[in-house]
């Protein structure tokens, strides 16, 4: 099988050939058909200090990619939940299934996780991958694999929304006004899910024209350029926003902005991955009595897994979701994919590697 592995230059991958590993008894071997490139795969591309400095975090010989969809090609002897030929999407975070968190379904905060496919473990920039059957979710064969791989970022948004809703269970999310900061893939998924779960209005900020257009397609009722903070502030002053979902991360000051813009007694959800410790204004959180949640990954929040909801939504909105796949590249062109995904001026929303 072919695998694209990182070199010390984030734009250059080496294609290596190896034997396909047979699945362990409870594993399923999948033929990877699509692997989305995520913002977290791009840190090295954006910041050369990740790969040029002596203590660089970017490493050679890694296999990236955690947004994975494919087809079942071989079953471990005890992997009876799937059949050969099933189309599946991968929940890439391993969990022990035994700790107190796992036993209540909250596998995203498993105390003994051994990592993430595409992070600590080899990921989807490869033709084949053997994974535990508990990490797979079946998806209709009519859904394009690139769209099926969107289950990962969509499940992140679903999870954030559902966990935040629990912060104030006396207040329904139906009919509320939601502000989504950022229209990268996680922001767009958050806009989409807020609308799907009954928000009366969804306001979104964007930086690039393709993000503005996508936000409007996915259900935003009002959009603001991210630099128009004044316009956004006066809008939020005139029509109080019940819930703000922060998806920008990096080194932005959007966590503080979220606290400033939300109404008294409102909710703030932090989904953006910050690269440094940013300011959270404790006096604003206190004086407005805000409920703030940071959420990560996906799990059983209620009786359904976030991935089950994500898969249902993808199956019912395939055409709409396929508009988010702006570029498709082969495994050999993984470096080009990283470059496209890292440069939003290319028009990119989601770049997909198709091994």
Q: Which residues bind Zn ion (CB under 5 A)?
A: 38, 95-96, 99, 102, 110
CB of 316 to Zn ion, least distance (A): 22
Alpha helices in the chain (DSSP H): 43-46, 49-52, 100-103, 145-148, 151-166, 185-196, 209-218, 229-238, 254-261, 282-287, 306-316, 318-322, 334-342
Minimum gap (Å) between residue 337 Cβ and Zn ion: 14
The b-or-e profile of 240-262 (16+ CB within 10 A means b, else e) is ebbbbbbbbbbebebbebbbebb
Cβ distance to Zn ion smaller for residue 147 or 199? 147
Nearest to Zn ion of 224, 298 (CB atom): 298
* Spatial distance between the Cα atoms of 162 and 159, rounded to a whole number of angstroms: 5
Closest separation in Å from C-beta 67 to Zn ion: 5
Classify 56 as helix, strand or coil: coil
**DSSP notation for 289-338:** T-EEEE--S--BSSSSBHHHHHHHHHHHSHHHHHTTEEEEEEGGGHHHHH
Residue 124 or 335 with smaller CB distance to Zn ion? 124
From the CB of 96, what's the least distance to Zn ion, in Å? 4
In sequence order, the β-bridge partners of residue 35 are 68, 353
The residue among 123 and 335 lying less far from Zn ion, judged by its C-beta, is: 123
Nearest residue (CB) to Zn ion, 1 versus 99: 99
CB of 259 to Zn ion, least distance (A): 25
Scanning the structure block, which residue is given the tokens 């209540």?
Answer: 104
Which CB atom, from 52 or from 103, has the smaller least distance to Zn ion?
Answer: 103
Nearer to Zn ion, 64 or 268 (CB): 64
The CB-of-66 to Zn ion minimum distance in angstroms stands at: 6
239 Cβ contact list (under 8 Å, min separation 6): 177, 201
Pair of tokens at residue 183: 């229209």
Q: CB neighbours (10 Å) of residue 316?
A: 12
Question: CA-CA distance, 245 to 13, in Å (whole number)?
Answer: 35
Where does residue 191 fall: left (phi above 0), alpha (psi -120 to 50 degrees), or beta otherwise? alpha
- C-beta of 305: minimal distance to Zn ion in Å? 15
CB 128 within 8 A of CB 20: yes
Q: Would you say 51 or 95 has its CB closer to Zn ion? A: 95
CB of 286 to Zn ion, least distance (A): 33
């Amino acid at each position: 099988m072919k695998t694209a592995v990182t070199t010390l230059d984030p734009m250059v991958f080496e294609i290596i050939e190896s034997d396909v590993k047979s699945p362990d008894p409870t594993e399923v071997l999948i033929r990877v058909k699509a692997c989305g490139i995520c913002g977290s795969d791009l840190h090295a591309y954006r910041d050369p200090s990740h790969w040029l400095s002596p203590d660089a975090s970017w490493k050679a010989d890694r296999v990236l990619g955690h947004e994975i969809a494919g087809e079942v090609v071989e079953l471990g002897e005890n992997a009876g939940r799937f059949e050969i030929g099933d189309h599946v999407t991968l929940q890439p975070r391993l969990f022990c299934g035994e700790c107190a968190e796992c036993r209540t379904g909250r596998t995203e905060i498993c105390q003994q996780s051994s990592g993430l496919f595409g992070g600590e473990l080899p990921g989807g920039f490869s033709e084949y991958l053997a994974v535990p059957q508990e990490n797979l979710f079946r998806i209709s064969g009519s859904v394009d694999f690139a769209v099926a791989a969107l289950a990962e970022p969509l499940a992140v948004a679903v999870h954030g929304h559902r966990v935040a809703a629990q912060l104030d269970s006396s207040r329904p999310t139906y009919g509320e006004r939601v502000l989504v900061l950022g229209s990268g893939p996680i922001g767009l998924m958050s806009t989409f899910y807020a609308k799907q779960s009954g928000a009366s209005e969804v306001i979104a900020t964007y930086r690039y024209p393709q993000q503005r257009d996508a936000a409007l397609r996915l259900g935003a009722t009002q959009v603001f350029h991210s630099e128009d903070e004044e316009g956004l502030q006066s809008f939020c002053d005139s029509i109080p926003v019940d819930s703000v979902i922060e998806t920008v991360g990096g080194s932005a000051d959007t966590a503080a902005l979220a606290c400033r813009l939300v109404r008294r007694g409102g909710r703030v959800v932090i989904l953006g991955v910050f690269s440094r410790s940013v300011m959270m204004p404790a006096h604003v959180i206190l004086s407005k009595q805000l409920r703030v949640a940071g959420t990560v990954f996906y799990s059983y929040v209620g009786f359904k897994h976030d991935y089950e909801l994500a898969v249902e939504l993808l199956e019912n909105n395939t055409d709409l979701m396929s508009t988010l796949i702006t570029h498709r590249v082969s495994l050999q062109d993984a470096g080009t994919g990283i470059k496209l995904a890292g440069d939003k001026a290319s028009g990119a929303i989601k770049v997909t590697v198709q091994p």
